[in-house]
Amino acid sequence: MATLLAIKYARGSLEILDQLLLPHRSVYLPLSCTDDGWHAIKKMQVRGAPAIAIVAALALAVELHNSTNTPSSGQEAVKTIHDKLDYLVTSRPTAVNLADAAGKLKAITSAALADDANASPDAIAKAYIDAAEQMLLQDVEDNKAIGRNGAAWICSAASKTADIRVLTHCNTGSLATAGYGTALGIIRSLHAASALSHAYCTETRPYNQGSRLTAYELVHEGIPATLITDNMAASLMSQHPISAIVVGADRVAANGDTANKIGTYQLAILARFFGVKFVVAAPTTSVDLNTPDGTGIKIEQRPGWEVLVVSGPTVTNEPGREDGSVVVNVAEVRSVKPAADGIGVYNPSFDVTPAALIDAIVTENGVVEKNADGVFPMATSFRSDS
Ligand code: MRU
C-alpha cells in the first residue's frame, strides 16, 4: 500500500498535503518561498514537530533555488538565510525541531563561508539546499529506527510478541513527519511484526488530529484500530486492558519532561494509575538539552475559535445510525458552534508531562530508561552538539 506523503519535494519544488482538508480531501499545496512555509505552518496546513521543521527548511531551499535575486556576496547570502530562518522559527514556538533545524542550517552556511571567505552566493545556497534535503531523507530513516526500537521495547516490557494493544494520542505518523512516523511508526512496526492486536487513537480535540489524521492513517494502513473521544481513555483502560500508551513529543527537556499535544499529560496520569507503560517516541532532534526542565518550555496558545467551533463536510443522511454510516458530501464544508455564546476559552496547544510519569524515551539511537535514581540519563544518552 502506498505510504501517505505529507511532503512532496524535488529540487526547486515543494508541495504539502493540506492537513486542514484531510481526511476527506487530498489536496497538495505548492510552497514556493519562506513566507508560504511560515503561513502553512502557522495555519497548521502542515503540523507535527518533525514535519514543520522539514517544511520550513525546504520552503527556504526552494526559494533559494528559484531566486533570481542574487545577493552581492557570500556574506550577504549567509545573512539573508539566517534572517529567513529566524523568521521561520517564529511560526510555532513549542516544537524544538524547528529551532534545531534552523540552528544546524545556520551552522552549515556559516561553515561554508568560514571554509572559503570568497564563497559565492550560489555556493552558500547549494550548501544550504544540500543540508535541507538531507534532513528530509534522514527523518524517514530515523523514524524507521524509532519504530524498531520502540516495538522491541514494548514487546519486551509486556513479555510477549503478540496480542499487544496500544493507545496513542494526536498524530505522529507519516503526516507529522517526512514519512513512517514516530509513535505511529512504533505501531506500524508492531503491526508489521504481527505483534499488534489493536491500536486505539484519541480524537485529540480541539484540532482533531486523532480522528482526522491518525484514524485516516490507521485505516489506510489496514491496522486494526478504534477511535475514542478524549474523555473515554480511563473507561477504555479499565475495560479493555492495554499494553502501553505511546505518544510523540514536541520537545523533551534535559530532565525528560516532555511537551506534547494537549491531553498527553492526563494520559500519563492514567497510565500510572492503571500500571501501564508510558512511552515517548521522538527523534533526537526533539531533545532539547538546553532547556533544563518542562517549566522552560514555551507552550503555544491557539485561538479560542478552535475550541468553540467544529468544522467538517456535511452528511446527507442524519447521523445516529448504529453502524455509524453516513454519506459524506466533501464539497460542502460547514462550521458549527456547539459552545454557548460569551463563554471564555482556554486553548493551550500542548502540555508538559513530567519525566516522573514517563517509562521510556525511544529515539532512533535506542531507548532511554530511568537509572537507579529514577532519573533519565539524558546528558549521557544524547549528543550535546545536537
Ligand atoms: O499541534 P500539532 O498537531 O503540530 O501537534 C503535534 C504533536 O503534538 C505531535 O505529537 C508531535 O509533534 C510529534 S509528531 C511526530
Q: Is 188 in the pocket of ligand 1 (CB under 6 A)?
A: no
Q: Helices 49-66 & 74-89, crossing angle to 10 degrees? A: 150
Residues 6 or more apart whose CB falls under 8 angstroms from that of 373 comprise: none
Which of 20, 42, 261, 347 for mutating ligand 1's site (highest number of atoms within 8 Å of CB)? Answer: 261
**Cell 473515554 sits on residue:** 232
2 within some domain: no
- Indicate whether 236 and 358 sit together in one domain: yes
Distance between CA 237 and CA 166 in Å, rounded? 10
- Indicate whether 155 and 277 sit together in one domain: yes
CB-CB contact of 94 with 259 (8 Å): yes
Which contiguous run of DSSP H or E holds residue 366?
Answer: strand 366-369
Q: Residue 178 in 3-state DSSP?
A: coil
Final residue belonging to a domain, choices 84, 110, 140:
140
What one-letter code names the amino acid at 99?
A: A
Which of 45, 98, 260 for mutating ligand 1's site (highest number of atoms within 8 Å of CB)? Answer: 260
- Indicate whether 321 and 360 sit together in one domain: no
Query: Which numbered atom of ligand 1 lies nearest the CA of 261?
Result: 8
Q: Is 135 in the pocket of ligand 1 (CB under 6 A)?
A: no
95 within some domain: yes
- Indicate whether 321 and 364 sit together in one domain: no
Q: Is 49 in the pocket of ligand 1 (CB under 6 A)?
A: yes
Count of C-beta atoms within a 10 Å radius of residue 236: 18
* Protein residue closest via CA to atom 6 of ligand 1: 48
pLDDT for position 379: 81
Final residue belonging to a domain, choices 114, 140, 166:
140
ipTM greater than 0.90, yes or no? yes
- Indicate whether 118 and 102 sit together in one domain: yes
- Indicate whether 315 and 283 sit together in one domain: no
CA-based end-to-end distance of the chain = 34
Distance between CA 275 and CA 296 in Å, rounded? 29
We report the CATH number of the domain holding residue 17 as 1.20.120.420
Which of 52, 168, 172, 361 for mutating ligand 1's site (highest number of atoms within 8 Å of CB)? Answer: 172
- Indicate whether 241 and 181 sit together in one domain: yes
What one-letter code names the amino acid at 223?
A: I
Give the three cell numbers for residue 29: 499545496
Domain count, the chain: 3
Cα of 261 vs centre of ligand 1, distance in Å, is 6
* Protein residue closest via CA to atom 15 of ligand 1: 172
Q: Residue 170 in 3-state DSSP?
A: coil
pLDDT for position 181: 98
Cα of 349 vs centre of ligand 1, distance in Å, is 9
- Indicate whether 135 and 239 sit together in one domain: no
184 within some domain: yes
Please identify every residue annotated as catalytic: 250
Q: Is 248 in the pocket of ligand 1 (CB under 6 A)?
A: yes
- Indicate whether 227 and 331 sit together in one domain: no
1 within some domain: no
pLDDT for position 321: 74
386 within some domain: no
Q: Is 170 in the pocket of ligand 1 (CB under 6 A)?
A: yes
DSSP category for residue 348: B
Catalogue the E-assigned strands of the chain: 7-10, 13-17, 28-30, 164-168, 196-202, 225-228, 244-247, 251-253, 258-261, 277-281, 287-288, 310-315, 328-336, 350-353, 360-363, 366-369
Q: Is 210 in the pocket of ligand 1 (CB under 6 A)?
A: no
Q: Is 139 in the pocket of ligand 1 (CB under 6 A)?
A: no
Per the structure, the complete domain to which residue 330 belongs is given by: 305-336
pLDDT for position 331: 87
Q: Is the Cα torsion angle 369, 372, 373, 378 positive or negative in sign? A: negative
Q: Is 45 in the pocket of ligand 1 (CB under 6 A)?
A: no
What are the angstrom distances between the C-alpha of 278 and each of 50, 166, 175, 183, 247? 21, 10, 23, 11, 8
162 within some domain: yes
* Protein residue closest via CA to atom 8 of ligand 1: 261
Final residue belonging to a domain, choices 140, 163, 195:
140
Q: Residue 28 in 3-state DSSP?
A: strand
Q: Cite the DSSP H helix spans in 178-278.
A: 183-192, 215-221, 233-239, 264-274
Q: Tens place of pLDDT for every residue, the chain, 386 residues?
A: 566 899 999 999 999 999 999 999 999 999 999 999 999 999 999 999 999 999 999 999 999 999 998 899 999 999 999 999 999 999 999 999 999 999 999 999 999 999 999 999 999 999 999 999 999 999 999 999 999 999 999 999 999 999 999 999 999 999 999 999 999 999 999 999 999 999 999 999 999 999 999 999 999 999 999 999 999 999 999 999 999 999 999 999 999 999 999 999 999 999 999 999 999 999 999 999 999 999 999 999 999 999 999 999 998 877 777 777 788 888 898 999 999 999 999 999 999 999 999 999 999 999 999 999 999 998 888 855 54
Q: Is 177 in the pocket of ligand 1 (CB under 6 A)?
A: yes
Query: Which numbered atom of ligand 1 lies nearest the CA of 349?
Result: 1
Q: Residue 334 in 3-state DSSP?
A: strand
DSSP category for residue 356: G
Cα of 318 vs centre of ligand 1, distance in Å, is 33
Q: How many helices (H) and strands (E) does the chain have?
A: 11, 16
341 within some domain: no
- Indicate whether 115 and 156 sit together in one domain: no
- Indicate whether 48 and 31 sit together in one domain: yes
Distance between CA 286 and CA 252 in Å, rounded? 6
Which contiguous run of DSSP H or E holds residue 81?
Answer: helix 74-89
Cα of 51 vs centre of ligand 1, distance in Å, is 9
Our measurement of the distance from residue 113's CA atom to the centroid of its chain's CA atoms, rounded to an integer in Å, reads 33
Distance between CA 171 and CA 345 in Å, rounded? 23
- Indicate whether 161 and 236 sit together in one domain: yes
Count of C-beta atoms within a 10 Å radius of residue 286: 26
Distance between CA 28 and CA 172 in Å, rounded? 20
Which of 55, 170, 202, 287 for mutating ligand 1's site (highest number of atoms within 8 Å of CB)? Answer: 170
We report the CATH number of the domain holding residue 198 as 3.40.50.10470
What one-letter code names the amino acid at 48?
A: G
